[in-house]
Structure 1
Amino acid sequence: MANVAIVIAVAVVVISLLYQCMKSTYSSRVQQVAKATTGDQKLQKSRTIPGMEKRHPEDGNLQDIADAGGLIQFLFKLHAKYGHVASFWFGKHYYVSLASPEAWKDHMKYFDRPSHLFEFIMPLVGEYSIQFANGEDAKRRRKAYDVAFQSNSIKKYLKSFQERADDLAEKISSFPSGEHIPLRESISSFGSKAFGRVLFGDYFEDEKRALKLYNVYQTTSDLLIKRMNNIEDENDKEFDVAIRAFREVIDDAVRHRHDNPPRKEEEDSDFLEVLLGFCTNEEHLFSEAISYYVGGYHTSVALLVWVFYFLSKDMDAQDKVYREIIEVLGKEQYVDAQSQTQLKYLRRFMDETLRWAVIAALAARVNYEEDTKVLEYIIPKGVGVVHALAAVLLDKDMWPDPDRFDPDRFLPENLSARHKLAFSPFGFAGKRICPGYRFAYAEATVLLTSLCRKFKFRLVEGQDIQRNFGMTTYPDKEILVLVEKRQ
């Protein structure tokens, strides 16, 4: 669940989405939060911070972002030109971006987020989402919700992950020999079922219900992108219909829960039960449910797609993963909390995937209380600060030849030579790290051990796969693989 408080990701963030979104009228709630980030007097304090001047009085550097191909690509260029601490204008709002572990260290303790940076997602998740919450309210929410994603809770999810993994293995076994299997499509279905079950309980054990959840979300997210880009005049109506359908699925799960409460020993780790006990009204519950579903689904699916892509490219690495699985688990044993820690090469492979693919490419924080000193610079209070995660994860000084995929970067002797914040794929700041990072590792480990023990995966030749940077980084096209049953 990647960005940092929770990665709210809608497939890819195309440039026109960002550009049109920032030209739209902000909601009054976000405007109130945003007022602290403007004002020439405050900016006088930060004049020594290098960066870009406004290109347009209203749009700031949005056209520069568009010209770069996206916010993430823009940040690469910004830091390449101005250094590890650099400023720019996101619409009317002045931002400072940090792209070094040393700078991040000075910004570790801040919890609040500049909500307007993520406002484009509000039509999907709603204004009550934790995505837009700050201060004590957001801290109370995180404390309540995090219970469902702690280590003890993750242990209880392993069985559910395994059942979904077995379902996918059975489906793959049914494909004719030599058929090209679409990797992202297959894993997306698994991810939706697994995460839907964990968030909303046994209601989504039913295959048809799980498929409906997956389909209504895909429809809603696709329409959101079209809506923000003004592609269709009637899109607002279609989007409203899709959101209602999405809500109906969640409402059905809630009604099912009221009729079928969890066992006493499961209540503390059950996310829907936590929401029912914490949320003040139906709108609040719906916003939080969608927020966590979107964030968790996208980041876990992206991680798995990229891992299988790299395994399918490198048969030697795949064989090494297989041998480790057999050594630790044998032919039949399933993953548990202890064996998960023993799969050391597989963990290094996942970590290198998170680094190379930069699943979560940025995070953001803001200090509304006082000015902040970062390295030799003073950032005025109320100014949004971007944590350019992608820029650090692909920094050639910290990761030599950063486009080369090499799990050995994460051998203990190599880790000790790097700053401890250099690898922060789930963020790091203000106790608002992505709440689902344990979940992502556990889910991926279960599926990888299940499928790699039964099948060999080989990339179909002739594919040119590139990163598509958005709020979650996906391959730029579907990945086709060939699957062979192991003897």
Structure 2
Amino acid sequence: MLDFAIFAVTFLLILVGAVLYLYPSSRQACGIPGLAPTEEKDGNLQDVVNSGSLHEFLVNLHERFGPVASFWFGRRLVVSLGSLDLLRQHINPNKTSDPFQMMLKSLLGYQSGVIGEAAESHLQKKLYENGISKALQSNFNIILKLSEELLAKWNTYPQSQHVPLCQHMLGFAMKSVTQTAMGSSFEDDQEVIRFRKNHDAIWSEIGKGYIDGSIERSSNRKRLYEEALMEMENVLKKAIKERKLKNPGRHVFMDSLLQGNLSDKQVLEDSMIFSLAGCAITANLCIWAIYFLATSEGVQDKLYKEVTRVIGKGPLTVEKLDQLSYCRQILWETVRTASLTPISARLQELEGRVDQHTIPKETLVLYALGVVLQDNTAWPSAYRFDPDRFSDETTKQNLSLLGLSGSLECPELRFAYVVATVLLCVIVRKLNLLPVKGQVMETKFELVTSPKEEAWITVSKRS
């Protein structure tokens, strides 16, 4: 397979595309149990492809070799950590910038902020994070309005009508992200439809097309991907120009970037990352949360009681979000149960150790989050959707350690938590969410975990 395909599997490009090309390759054995290379050129790439996804490959790898295991990606040694204890040992001395942003920048061929001065990269990262936080505050009423529009639509459905959850949540997420990131021009549905077409074309190839090299073998697919990327960049360039030239009105994410002394190229790249990742994470968090609520009547009733107590008959406000502790537990448990982001990674810049194992320097270390999140020793009855498990402080700390809550969470996930909280409160306040009998949900593990097929629910009005 092509060399690019070797380095393009999901989160491996977080660092491989941007960093590992700078180091000489090595076949050095490290004594960590694992797979020998299946092929000289590709290492164990074909084993990953045969498993269906990198996540499913890692599940099998850790079942066979234990919580620390190795394999080969091309001529690169990769070490995967699949337990909370090992991740705790490795994360504490190896905190780096947000892996999701770095991964997407590498996939898209963007370099600014991937390799550069540490201080400059840190400042850009803080600007990015603060920009999302400020955009959420400034656009809270927009998110609330979009949630209420979706509620009004569902309110017209008879209980027998099946609601296409993936379709509706993708549309809702696209509107939320584009209006929060770029402003009122995306209140036009036709603009959102064009944005979604390009977004879907780019995201589908990033998530799957490179993992087996299939995009490189199809000139037509590669052309469509490159055209979609160019069109998306043109949309962002137009929005940047508009935000510069006229009174922008309410503050959006792009305004923070423009006020931060970044180059137009950096503004474009960061806006692209937020647009791509924000839409995918927000949509799938909402899909899984609503699906789990529909199949968990007791959890839904408990959420309804909290929403009624906190909000009453008044409006939902930013100040009330922090009081919705059970809703927050539901979203944390959604991320855990669905393994929303199944892989993360770090570069082992210097030689390190986990337990009795030595990890050579310049080794790519995978955090097998999907494996850890389904580990019964860390999460009793791991396959059961149980938000009450996060009443325990230790359990909260475990999720925070994985970068899925608290100070280490990626800014796109923080955005998604707020949007999903608003949506759940608006919907559950007025409607019962009901499952479709006989539906079997199969999961697609890519950069963000999603249902393989459309997810269906039904709704009924609360009395």
Q: 1:102 aligns to what? A: 85
Confirm whether residue 380 of structure 1 aligns to residue 356 of structure 2: no
Confirm whether residue 251 of structure 1 aligns to residue 237 of structure 2: yes
Q: How many residues align?
A: 452
Kindly tell me: are residues 161 and 302 of structure 1, through their superposed partners in 2, closer, same or farther at Cα, counting changes over 3 Å? same
Per the alignment, in what secondary structure is the counterpart of residue 409 of structure 1?
A: helix
Hey, what's the Cα distance between the residues in 1 that align with 2:383 and 2:452? Answer: 16
Kindly tell me: are residues 243 and 110 of structure 1, through their superposed partners in 2, closer, same or farther at Cα, counting changes over 3 Å? same
Q: 1:312 aligns to what? A: 294
Contact in 2 for aligned 1:359/1:472 (Cα 8 Å) = yes
Using the size of structure 2 for normalisation, the TM-score is 0.87
Confirm whether residue 211 of structure 1 aligns to residue 193 of structure 2: yes
Per the alignment, in what secondary structure is the counterpart of residue 366 of structure 1?
A: strand
Alignment counterpart, residue 392 of structure 1, candidates 346, 357, 372: 372
5+ residue gaps, structure 2, are none
Contact in 2 for aligned 1:165/1:450 (Cα 8 Å) = yes
Confirm whether residue 288 of structure 1 aligns to residue 270 of structure 2: yes
> Which moves more between the two structures, 252-261 or 357-366?
252-261
Deviation, 1:422, is 5.1
Alignment counterpart, residue 391 of structure 2, candidates 411, 415, 436: 411
Query: For each residue in 1:419-453, what CA deviation from the matched residue of structure 2 results, as whole angstroms up to 9, or x when unmatched?
Result: 93355453589x86412333222111100000111
Query: For each residue in 1:242-267, what CA deviation from the matched residue of structure 2 results, as whole angstroms up to 9, or x when unmatched?
Result: 2222122212222221233446xx76
Deviation, 1:112, is 4.8
Kindly tell me: are residues 385 and 261 of structure 1, through their superposed partners in 2, closer, same or farther at Cα, counting changes over 3 Å? farther
Query: For each residue in 1:296-336, what CA deviation from the matched residue of structure 2 results, as whole angstroms up to 9, or x when unmatched?
Result: 11111111101110111122322221122111111342142
Q: 2:62 aligns to what? A: 79
Contact in 2 for aligned 1:360/1:472 (Cα 8 Å) = yes
Q: 1:21 aligns to what? A: 5
Identity %: 26
Q: How does 1:45-124 map to 2 (within 5 A)?
A: 47-107=30-90, 108-112=92-96, 122=106
Kindly tell me: are residues 223 and 420 of structure 1, through their superposed partners in 2, closer, same or farther at Cα, counting changes over 3 Å? closer
Alignment counterpart, residue 449 of structure 1, candidates 415, 425, 430: 425
Hey, what's the Cα distance between the residues in 2 that align with 1:155 and 1:298? Answer: 21
Deviation, 1:142, is 0.7
5+ residue gaps, structure 1, are 1-15
Confirm whether residue 371 of structure 1 aligns to residue 351 of structure 2: yes
Hey, what's the Cα distance between the residues in 2 that align with 1:297 and 1:329? Answer: 27
Hey, what's the Cα distance between the residues in 1 that align with 2:256 and 2:98? Answer: 26
Return the letter of the residue paired with 1:90.
F
Q: 2:318 aligns to what? A: 336
Query: For each residue in 1:187-215, what CA deviation from the matched residue of structure 2 results, as whole angstroms up to 9, or x when unmatched?
Result: 11111111112222333233332333223
Contact in 1 for aligned 2:306/2:326 (Cα 8 Å) = yes
Q: How does 1:31-46 map to 2 (within 5 A)?
A: 33-36=20-23, 38-40=25-27, 43-44=28-29
Contact in 1 for aligned 2:281/2:412 (Cα 8 Å) = no
Query: For each residue in 1:55-110, what CA deviation from the matched residue of structure 2 results, as whole angstroms up to 9, or x when unmatched?
Result: 11111111221232211111112222222221111222111111222222232232
Kindly tell me: are residues 106 and 36 of structure 1, through their superposed partners in 2, closer, same or farther at Cα, counting changes over 3 Å? farther
Q: 2:434 aligns to what? A: 458
Contact in 2 for aligned 1:389/1:424 (Cα 8 Å) = no
Taking only aligned residues, the RMSD between alpha carbons, in angstroms, comes to 3.2
Deviation, 1:221, is 3.0
Kindly tell me: are residues 245 and 221 of structure 1, through their superposed partners in 2, closer, same or farther at Cα, counting changes over 3 Å? same
Kindly tell me: are residues 458 and 419 of structure 1, through their superposed partners in 2, closer, same or farther at Cα, counting changes over 3 Å? closer
Contact in 1 for aligned 2:343/2:366 (Cα 8 Å) = yes
Q: 2:307 aligns to what? A: 325
Q: 2:337 aligns to what? A: 356
> Which moves more between the two structures, 390-399 or 374-383?
374-383
Hey, what's the Cα distance between the residues in 2 that align with 1:208 and 1:419? Answer: 41
Return the letter of the residue paired with 2:352.
T
Per the alignment, in what secondary structure is the counterpart of residue 166 of structure 1?
A: helix
Deviation, 1:182, is 0.1
Confirm whether residue 402 of structure 1 aligns to residue 389 of structure 2: no
Q: 1:421 aligns to what? A: 398
Per the alignment, in what secondary structure is the counterpart of residue 348 of structure 2?
A: coil
Hey, what's the Cα distance between the residues in 2 that align with 1:133 and 1:54? Answer: 33
